[in-house]
Amino acid sequence: MQRAVLSYLVLLTTLAALCTVSYAHSTPDAMVIVPPGLGGGGGRGGGSGLGSSGLGVGLGTTSYSKRDSGTEKWHGLLRREIQRMVRRVETEDTEDTGARNETAIEELDLQAWAKETTAKCISRLSSISKASNPSGIVVCYNLPFLSTDSGVFAADLRLYQVSAAEGNWSSVGGNIDVSLMYNGAAVQLRNETTEEAAATESASASTTGPEKVQEFHFIGQIDKLLLEDEKTDAQLQTLLTPNITLFAKMSDGTELQTTLSTDDATFVNGVFSNLVANETTNTTTTASAAATPFKLPGTRIEIVPIGLYFYGSYMALACIIFGYGTFERQRFRDQYRKRIAQQGTLGGNRAI
């Protein structure tokens, strides 16, 4: 009987293994401080809340002057610097990568650029509830234009108040200077045009988000010695990402200083925006993976354990059968011994 039971169990085990394999296959698994008042865009208090600051690093001190820089004058300045550019039309999408040649400069609509950049800056910064510095100010920095041949570029710097100032910065108010420091580039401040200001104001009014403190617009050029070797967009991005510092002085003369992070909203529009978008996606994916607690492999069952159910049922059945057989053998042994003992008592001593 036990042989028959064992044969039956072996047959069932083989069938269970085949079912398990079949299920497994089908389961899916030089810094210059610009005095207040020369900033490009209006901020709190009619535009006098923040002084602009900090230009011309790497090529020596860059002078500045307060002058009327309209769209045509801006284009003229850029044209003068790129006369030696190779005349070619690149196939890059200017909306995603900014203007990268003279043709794109001519077609660049500053009014549309200002409106689009304002909306993208506010959208990006709306997700930030607290600044990484005690001033509560964050930066949105973008490049509308970059010539990789001449090194001429235009920069757009916007400051937003995303959280309340902390510590000594809460008593400073709007008496703050801003410093930009480039490692290998010189920049010059330009005034914002009336059309740009109107577009920025319109976009700010129609978009809910942090309050703009001030904005600045620059024209600059990368050191030509650095452009002798062809550089990738990632290398150019490093050269054109400035160190931005805020300076303030308290009423008792105490000087305050804090550095703004360029990781909050840098290159959200124009040049390098596509590169930063890819980096943001990768960073988000990495951060999500890092935030997921580590799971030790092999400690959890991730699929329906069909095989476990089969084997468990067979094991329980086998235990019942063998247990019952063992119990019956023990009963038979005890009965046999009693019977032999009784026979020995009645018939004398006989060997068992």
Identify the domain containing residue 248 by its residue range.
50-291
Q: Are residues 258 and 339 in the same domain?
A: no
- Token pair belonging to 158: 């916007």
Q: Are residues 19 and 164 in the same domain?
A: no
pLDDT number for residue 41: 56
pLDDT number for residue 73: 52
- Whether 214 maps to a domain, the answer reads yes
Count of structural domains within the chain: 2
pLDDT number for residue 329: 92
Name all contacts of 61-68 with Cβ < 8 Å and 24+ positions apart. 61/30, 61/32, 62/30, 62/32, 62/186, 62/187, 62/188, 63/32, 63/188, 64/32, 64/34, 64/38, 64/188, 64/189, 66/37, 66/38, 66/191, 67/191, 68/191
pLDDT tens digits in sequence order for the chain, 352 residues long: 445 544 544 454 444 444 443 433 333 333 444 444 455 555 544 443 444 434 533 333 333 333 344 445 545 555 555 444 433 333 334 444 566 666 776 777 888 888 899 999 999 999 898 999 999 999 999 999 888 788 889 999 999 999 999 989 988 877 789 998 998 899 999 888 888 888 888 888 877 889 888 889 999 999 988 888 888 888 888 889 999 999 998 888 889 999 998 888 889 988 888 775 445 444 444 445 555 677 777 787 778 888 888 899 999 999 999 999 999 999 999 999 988 888 877 665 555 5
Q: Are residues 321 and 217 in the same domain?
A: no
- Whether 11 maps to a domain, the answer reads yes
Q: Are residues 335 and 227 in the same domain?
A: no
**What is residue 255's DSSP assignment?**
E
CA–CA dist 317, 323 (Å, integer): 10
pLDDT number for residue 19: 47
Q: Are residues 219 and 118 in the same domain?
A: yes
- Whether 42 maps to a domain, the answer reads no
3-state DSSP assignment of residue 320: helix
Q: Are residues 308 and 277 in the same domain?
A: no
- Whether 258 maps to a domain, the answer reads yes
Q: Are residues 174 and 203 in the same domain?
A: yes
